[in-house]
Chain A
Amino acid sequence: MVRNMKTLLTGNEAIARGAWEAGVCAAFGYPGTPSTEILENLAKRKDDVYLEWAPNEKVAMEAAIGASYAGVRAIVTMKHVGLNVAADPLMTHSYVGSEGGLLICVADDPGQHSSQNEQDSRHFARFAKIPVLEPADSDEALRYMRYGFELSEKYKTPVMIRLTTRVSHSRSLVTEGERSTPKTANFERNPSRFCPLPVWGREMRKRVETRLEALRTETEKSPLNSIEWGDKKLGIIAEGLAYGYVKEVFPSASILKLGWAWPYPDALIREFAGSVEQLVIVEENEDILEEHVRAMGFACKGRDLISGIGELSVPKLLTLRDRLDESNNSEIYTVPAPVADAADLPARPPVLCPGCPHRGLFFALGKHDVLVTGDIGCYSLAVFPPLSRTDTILCMGGGFSVAQGIDKAGEKRRVVGIVGDSTFFHSGITGMLDVVYNKGKSVLVVLDNRTTAMTGHQDHPGTGTTLMGEPTTAVSIEEVGRACGMKKVATVNPYDLKETEKAVSEALAFGETSLIVTRAPCPLRTREPVGNRRSIDSSKCKSCLACVKLGCPAIEVTEKGKKPAINEELCAGCNLCEQVCAFGAIAEVSK
C-alpha cells in the first residue's frame, strides 16, 4: 500500500508547520491550554526559528511586536484569557501597525475544558480593529498561516488566528510544503512610524480606519471565504469549525463558509443572503456574525434556536434542524442520555496526581482556620474534597492580590495566598509587592514544582533552561521575595509534613506578611518516582482513614467499611501517607 502524501497533524502542529513554512523567524508565547503545543512543536525547528516562553502573555506580545518592527515574520501564542493580559500592547500596536508579518495565535476554549471562562477572542479583534482568520481543520490552519503573514505585511496590521480547543487538539490530514526564505532583520529608524505620541498617534488613529476599509475590500475576494451552492431553501453562514459540524448535519444546504472571520465580506453575505429562502448563522461562542448580518438588514435564525453557552456540536445542530423544519414532527432528534445503569456511577474528577508535591502544603493548611486564595494551575484541584482547601480562584496572579483585598477589607481570619512557580513569574510578583508595600499580613506561598506543570511542563524564569534548550540564570523566588521587602522567607520540602506544618504555623504567628516557598520537582516531569512505593499492613490498620484524607488516587478504599490499600501501579512513593498514619501501618516496600 502506498502511503498517501498527506500527514496527520493536530491543529497546533499545523500552525507550527505553517509558521515555519511561511518563513517565521521569531516566536513568543506563554503556555495555556489549548494553545501550548504550537511553540513546543515549532521548537523542533529551533535551528531556523528563535523561540521563547516569555514570563507572561503581555511580554510575549510586546516581544513579537518588536520582532515585527525589525522586519521579520513573528508569531505570538496564548490561550484566550492570556489575550486579556496582552490586551494593552495589542490595542496600541493596532495603531502603530506591523512591519514584518505578525500573527497572534489565540486558542479559545468553548465548553471550558481547561479554562476558567469561555470568552470569545473575536471580540478583541473587533475591539483592536484587526482581521481574524478562523481555520476549520489542520490543513486550513497550516495554509492560513502563510496567507495571514501576507495579509499582515500588505496592510501593516497584526492578524489574529483564532483557534478553538477542537481545532487545536483534533488531528486531520494536511499537505505539507517547503519553507520560504525568511526576511532579514533590519529595523528602519522612523519615530513618526513607531512612536504613537499624540501628535503621530492621531494620524495613526485615522489610518486604522483607512486600513479597515481596505481590509473590507480585500475580504470580498479572499479565497478563505466561499459559497458552496446547494439547495437554496436553506442557506447557512458558518465560521471556522462550525462549518465542519454544518456539513455533517446539512449536507445538501447552501453554505457560505467564512475562513476570514472579521471584518466580514458584506457583498458576499448580501449575495448569499439574498439568494436563499431561509438564512441561518452558525458560529461558536458569541453571536458576532449574527449581529452583523442582522445589522445589514437580513432576517436570520441563529442564537434564538441554538445556545451560545458551551461548545457547538453536531447534536446541537440536529436539534436546530428539527426546530427549523416545523412540519417534520415525526423524527425529532433527542441526544441519547447516559444509560440508566450509569446514573449512580462515581464521578471521576481530575485530581492531584500520586506523589504531587502540592499535597503536603494543602494538608498542612487543613489544620488552621484560614482562608485560602488560590490561583490557576494544578493546585486549583485542591479545591475538591477531601483536601477542600481553596476558597477562591480568579486569574493568573490573583492568588496573592485577592488575599490582600480580603485581608484589607477587615476579614478576621488570616488569609493564605497561593500561586505556582510559573504563575509567580507571570504576575505573582506584582501582587506580592502590593502585599508587602501596603503592609498586608497575608501569608504568601509559592508552590514551586520547578515547571509549568498543568500545561505539560514548560520552562519558566525559575528553571534555568530556555525554550531553545540553552542553560540560563535561574531566578530565585526567595531572593525576589527579599528584594520586594519580605522580612521572613522560608523554604520547605513539601514531602516533609512536619517541616511544612512548622513553616505554616510560624508564618501565621508572624505579625506581618511572609513568604513560604515549597520546593520539589513535579514527578511527572522528572518521570521518576519520588521514592520507594508504600503499602498498608492491614493487620495494623485501624481504618481511621487519615491517609485517605490526603486525596491521593493511589490510596484506594474499594467500598465503605473496607480498609484502605495502596495501588502499586499508581503509588509514587512520596511518603506522605506513612507520615499521617498514627498506627505505623504504612511502610516502604523494599525492592
Chain B
Amino acid sequence: MSGSKNTTTNIILVGVGGQGVLLVSTIIAEAAIRAGMDVKTNEVHGMAQRGGSVLAQVRFGEKVYSPLVWEGTADILIALEEVEALRHAHFLKKGGLAVVSAQRIIPVTVSSGKAQYPADIEARLARAFSNLIVLDALKTAHGLGNAKAANIVTLGAASRGMSALESHWNGAIEQCVAEKHRELNKRAFKAGGEYSK
C-alpha cells in the first residue's frame, strides 16, 4: 500500500476456467466487508469461462471507485496456474507479492503443436517476481482429501499479504462456502498459511 492518499489494496486472481478463481475472490471480498471496508470486485462470465484464461479482481479500502485493478498496481497476484501467473505478471506493482500454485494446465494450443509450454517456467517466475511464494497447493489439497481445495490452500498462503483481514477469514469462509465443504476449506486455508511462514 502506498501512503495515506491511496489506501486501496488491489488483488488480482488468475487461473483457468473451472479452477475456482471466483470463490477465492468472493472470500477475500467478504473478509474485507467484515473488516468494515468498501469493496469492489470484478469477474468474467460467458465465453471466457470455457477453459480459457480467467482473471478476477478485488479492491478494498476506505472508498473504492473502479472495480478493475490496472496494470502495475496489484499488491498481490494469486495464481492457480504457472503460465497464467507469468502472463499477468505486469499487473503486479514493483515488489508486490506473487503467490503461485505450482499447477500446469496444458492449453490446447500446446497439445495441437502450435505453441510450447515453457520448460523453464519456474526459472521465469523467479525472474519475474522478487517477492514470490510457489507452493504445491494441489498436493496439499489432495492430502486433505479433495484436490478442488487447491484454490483455498493458495489463498491461505496469500493471506499474509492481507494483514488487515487477519481476524475475518474464518467468518468469510463460513459465509461463502456450502456447509459440507466448510471444514475442508478451513483446513485448506490453514495449511496454505503454513507455507508462508
Contact = CB atoms under 8 A, between A and B. Distances in A.
A384 B127 CA distance: 33
Given A553-B108, A556-B111, A172 B116 contact: no
Given A170-B40, A348-B84, A555-B111, A247 B47 contact: no
Interface in A336-381: 336-339, 341-342, 344-353, 378, 381
12 contacts: A1-B36, A166-B68, A171-B67, A173-B33, A339-B89, A341-B86, A346-B107, A351-B50, A454-B46, A456-B45, A548-B111, A560-B116
A3 B122 CA distance: 41
Given A169-B45, A248-B65, A349-B109, A336 B71 contact: yes
A113 B39 contact: no
Contacts of B64: 172
Contact of B33 (A6, A350, A552): A6
Given A385-B114, A560-B116, A171 B168 contact: no
A114 interface: yes
A341 B124 contact: yes
Contacts of B87: 338, 342, 345
Q: How would you classify the secondary structure of chain A's contact residues: helix, strand, loop or mixed?
A: loop
Interface residues of A, number: 66
Contacts of A313: 68, 70
Interface in B110-138: 110-119, 124, 127-128
Contacts of A386: 108, 112
B90 A337 contact: yes
Given A166-B67, A169-B42, A338-B89, A378 B112 contact: no
B48 interface: yes
Interface residues of B, number: 61
B53 interface: yes
A315 interface: yes
Scoring A314, A342, A455, A456 by chain B CB atoms within 10 A of each residue's CB, the highest score goes to A342
Contacts of B72: 335-336
A137 interface: yes
A475 interface: no
B83 A348 contact: yes
A8 B52 CA distance: 26
Interface string B168-186: 1001000000000000000
A201 to B, nearest CB: 39
B49 A137 contact: no
A173 B42 contact: no
Interface string B154-194: 00000000000001100100000000000000000000000
Nearest to A249: B66
Contact of B41 (A171, A245, A337, A454): A171
Contact of B47 (A1, A36, A114, A346): A114
Given A315-B70, A339-B89, A345-B118, 12 more contacts: A33-B45, A33-B46, A114-B46, A169-B45, A341-B118, A344-B118, A350-B47, A350-B52, A454-B50, A548-B111, A548-B113, A558-B117
